[in-house]
Structure 1
Amino acid sequence: MSDDIANQTRLAAAAMPRGLFVFTLIYGGMTVLAGVLAFKQVQLYPTDLAVEAGIFAFLLLVVISSTIAQIYGENLAKRIVWWGFIPLLIASLLMQLVLNLPASTEMVQFRGEDLAAFEQVHATLWRVWMAGPAAYIVSLLLNVWIFSRLRGAGEGGGAVSLMARGAIASALSQAVDSVIFITLAFYGQFEITNLLIGQVIAKVVLSIILVPFLITGGVALARWLDERGRR
C-alpha cells in the first residue's frame, strides 16, 4: 500500500505543469522578500510622497496569482495564496531564532556596528511581519476573485481582455493592501499620511501601466514552459 501511495505521489509530481512548478517557486520566494523589503521607504521624486519597497515583490505576487488563475483556475490560485503563508511563517520563525542566538566573538569585537544594525532592523520588523500576512491574504484573494469574476463564464478572449482584467483587479486589490499594511505596520511610529498616499498612488499607477504587460508575459511564459515540459 505504501509503495502504491509513493508511486501515485511521484506520478502526480511528474504530471505537474512546468509553468505552475516554476511560478510556485517564485511565489514562495516573493512572499518572504516582500516583508523584508517593506522596511525601507523609497521617495517618489519630485514629491515628498513615499512607497515601501516591498511593493516590487508584491507586484510579482499579484502577477503570479493572476497568471495561475488564468491558466490553471481560480481555485488553484486561491490555494497558492493560502499556502504562501508557509514560507512567510518559516522565515519569521527563523528570523526570531537568529535574533536570539548569540553572535560570534569576532562579530561582537570587530563588527559591532554591523551587528547592531542587523538587530535594530530585524528586531523592529515584527510589526511588518504581522501586518504582511493580514494585507497579503485579503488583497491577493481579492485580486484573484476580481480577476476571475471579470473573466466571466467564457475563456476571456484575447490579450486586451486579459490586460484589462489584470489592471483592474490589481489596482483595486493593491489599494486595499496599502491601507491595511501601512496602517498596521507603521501607524504610531511616524506620520504615515505621505507614505499611505504615495503607496496607493504608486500601486494603482503601476497596476495600470505595468501589471497588464507582466500578466500577459507571465501567461505566455507559463504556457511556453508547459509546452517545453511536455516534450
Structure 2
Amino acid sequence: MSQDTKLTAPSAPRGLFLFLLIYGGMTVLAGVVAFKQVQLWPSNLAVEAGIFPFLILVVVSSTITQLYGKDLANRLVWFGFVPLALSAALIFLVLGLPPSPEMTEFRGDDLAAFERVLGQTPRILMAGPFAYITSLLLNIWIFSKLAGSGEGNTIGLMVRGAIASALSQAVDSVIFITLAFYGEFDITDLLIGQVIAKVTLSFVLVPFLITGGVALAKWLDSK
C-alpha cells in the first residue's frame, strides 16, 4: 500500500450517525444525574432524574429499530456498555487522584460535594447496566412485535412507541430503584413515583419524540 493510499471507512446514514452520538452521551449522563431525586409536584412522590436521559435512550432505540432494523438496535444496546465502562473507570480514576492543595484549602466544600456525588455513583453504575440492558432490549422486542400492516402509519408508530416504552420503563424502574437505593431509605414513594412518571411520559411525550426522531432521521438521510 502506497503512502498516498487511504482506507475508506464505510459511511453511515446521517440520521443514524446523529442518534449514535446522542445514545452514547445519554448512557453516561443517566448514571450521573440519577443521584438526584426530583419531587413530582404537587404530590410527595419522587423520581430519580436519570429518567430523563433514559427516556431519550428509549426514543433513540425505537427510532433506530423503526428505520434501521431490530438487529442494529439490539447491537447498539450492547455497545452502550462501552461508554458506561469508560465513564465508570474515569470516575474511579478521578476520585482516586489527590486534589490540588489550592482546591483543598480554598474550595473544600466544592471538593466534598464532588466526591459525595460521584462517590455514590458506583452502586448506581452497578444497578444501571442491569436495568439498562433488560429494559431497552425489552423495549426493542415489544416495539418490533407490535409492528404490523400499519408499521409505516404515524398513529401506529406512536401507539407502538408508547406501549413499548411504558412496559419496559415500568420494569426498568423496579430493577434500578431496588438495586440502587434499597436499604439506604424507604424507596416506596420513589418507586411508585418513578413508575407513574415513566408510564405517563411514555404515553404523553415518547410517541411524539419517536415520530419526531423518525422524521428528523429521514430528513438527514435524504441530504
TM-score, structure 2 normalization: 0.96
CA distance in 2, matches of 1:2, 1:77: 38
CA distance in 2, matches of 1:210, 1:2: 54
1:167–1:198: structure 2 CA closer, same or farther, 3 Å change rule? same
- Pick aligned residue for 2:165 from 170, 177, 181: 170
Given that 2:35 and 2:120 are in contact with CA atoms closer than 8 Å, whether structure 1 keeps it comes out as no
Aligned to 1:83: 79
Aligned to 2:93: 97
CA distance in 2, matches of 1:183, 1:2: 58
- Pick aligned residue for 2:183 from 181, 188, 201: 188
CA distance in 1, matches of 2:170, 2:196: 8
Uncovered stretches (5+) of structure 2, i.e. residues with no partner: none
RMSD of aligned Cα (Å): 1.6
Aligned to 2:209: 214
Given that 2:150 and 2:156 are in contact with CA atoms closer than 8 Å, whether structure 1 keeps it comes out as no
CA distance in 1, matches of 2:203, 2:81: 27
Q: Which amino acid aligns with 2:161?
A: G
Q: Secondary structure at the match of 2:38?
A: strand
Return the structure number with greater helix share.
1
TM-score, structure 1 normalization: 0.93
Equivalent runs, 1:153-168 vs 2, <5 Å: 154=149, 156-168=151-163
Uncovered stretches (5+) of structure 1, i.e. residues with no partner: none
Percent same amino acid among aligned pairs? 69
CA distance in 1, matches of 2:95, 2:28: 17
Structure 2 residue 50 is matched with structure 1 residue 54: yes
What number of residue pairs does the alignment pair up?
Answer: 222
- Cα shift at 1:117: 1.1
Aligned to 1:68: 64
Q: Which amino acid aligns with 1:171?
A: A
- Cα shift at 1:155: 6.4
CA distance in 1, matches of 2:90, 2:66: 34
CA distance in 2, matches of 1:132, 1:124: 13
